[in-house]
Amino acid sequence: MASTDATTDSSLPEGSKRDSMLPDRLRPSPFKEFWGYFCENRGAIVGLFVFVAFILIALFADVLAPHSATEQYRDALLQPPAWQDGGSTRFLLGTDAVGRDMLSRLIYGARYSFFIGVIVVVISAGTGVLIGLLAGFARGWVDTLIMRLMDVLLAFPSLLLALVMVAILGPSLINAMIAIGIVLQPHYVRLTRAAVMQELPKDYVTSARVVGASRLRLMFVTVLPNCLAPIIVQAALSFSTAILDAAALGFLGLGAQPPTPEWGTMLADAREFVLRAWWVVTFPGLAILINVLAINLMGDGLRDALDPKLKRS
């Protein structure tokens, strides 16, 4: 009964027939296909552009910022933005309580934000993927031990654990980043392990084993590239989580310390002016929101483009 089922025959049609097939379009390459799916998501494109803009701002902060991030203009305390009464074009977005230019601080803040994201993702993804690979390949008691350990880490609300770790390490931006990196790392372990377990029984792994690939080669060259899709998506997500959590720690006084122009720390300074000077509160938060939103938009686009399950058929 399987006789009529489509079966690919090894003997290809002869030359004349081949020419006649004249395909309308060739199947696109994997990257092109990925890019096609990514571009279909307008939000993802917008997110990508905004994110690139943020990177450029961070890179060229010295050129772009009209003032220094820390210089205090004592003649212009809490000056409103240029378009409001009492504002001037000298300080486009106004000044804060000690007379520092908001715009310049926001521009320099982009550096911190980007820096935090990169470092946290490197810490958490680097260790998480390694441990996840180990757990997935080792199985047995090593696996159990690692996963129970991750369960323990995940039992704590992330911000709380980061908070407590900073309390141990002492409040600073570096310690905040380390703490957030450790807190986010279990997600990578779980993802990588799950992906490895899914790939291991597949034929290509077996054939690589049969050919005699070493364990390390099997882990990093054979299996890991096929587990990358969910890890990349997670990286995008944890980039934005890192920025949010670092800002939250800064806001609680446990992250970057004043006068660092980190957006969360700026908000902490601005708290007492909530009802008096809306601009010192609004702009840093808006910067965080737009940055995080852009990365999340990109992350959604990545997930849709990489996850074959959600692809339209």
Partner 1 sequence: MLSFILRRLGTFIPTFIGVSIVSFLFIRLLPGDPILLMAGERGMSAERHAQLMVQFGFDQPLITQYWDYLTGILRGDLGISFKTKRPVWDEFFALFPATLELSLCAIVFAVVLGIPAGIIAAVKRGKWPDQVLMSTALVGYSMPIFWWALLLIILFSGMLGWTPVSGRISLMFFFPSGTGFMLIDSLRSGQAGAFASAVEHLILPTIVLGTIPLAVIARQTRSAMLEVLSEDYVRTAKAKGLGPLRVNGLHALRNALIPVITVIGLSVGTLMAGAILTETIFSWPGVGKWMVEGIGSRDYTAVQGGLLMIALIVMVVNLVVDVLYGLINPKIRR
Partner 2 sequence: MPLLDVRNLCVDFRTANGLFRAVDGVDVQVNVGDVLAIVGESGSGKSVSMLALMGLLPWTATINADLLHFDGVDLASANTQQRRSIIGKDVAMIFQEPMSSLNPCFTIGFQLRETMKAHLPLSRRERQSRAIQLLEQVGLPEPERRLKAFPHQLSGGMCQRVMIAMAIACKPKLLIADEPTPALDVTIQAQILELLLDLQKDTGMALVLITHDMGVVAETAQRVSVQYAGQKVEEQGVRDLFANPHHPYTHALLAALPERATSRQLPSIPGVVPGQFDRPKGCLFSPRCTYAKDRCFQEVPVAAPPALGLARCHYPLVDGIAQREVS
Interface residue list for partner 1 (CB under 8 A): 43, 148-149, 151-152, 154-161, 163-164, 167-168, 170, 240, 244, 247-248, 251-254, 264, 267, 270-271, 274-275, 278, 281-282, 284-285, 288-289, 292-293, 296-297, 300, 310
The answer to whether 11 contacts partner 2 (rule: CB under 8 A) is: yes
CB of 223 to partner 1, least distance (A): 26
Closer to partner 1 at the Cβ: 261 or 264? Answer: 264
Closer to partner 1 at the Cβ: 224 or 262? Answer: 262
Using alpha carbons, list the distances in angstroms from residue 158 to 163, 164, 186, 210: 9, 10, 11, 43
C-alpha–C-alpha distance, residues 200 and 132, integer Å: 13
Binding region for partner 2 (CB under 8 A) out of 23-31, 91-99, 209-217, 293-301: 23-31
Which pairs with CB-CB distance under 8 Å and at least 24 residues apart come from 195-200? 195/132, 195/136, 195/226, 195/227, 195/230, 195/231, 196/132, 196/133, 196/135, 196/136, 196/137, 196/223, 196/227, 197/136, 199/223, 199/226, 199/227, 200/136, 200/137
Closer to partner 1 at the Cβ: 15 or 170? Answer: 170
**Which residues are 95's β-sheet partners?**
101
The answer to whether 30 contacts partner 2 (rule: CB under 8 A) is: no
Closer to partner 2 at the Cβ: 22 or 155? Answer: 22
Give the interface with partner 2 as residue ranges (CB under 8 A). 1, 3-9, 11-13, 16-18, 20-28, 33, 36-37, 40, 311-313
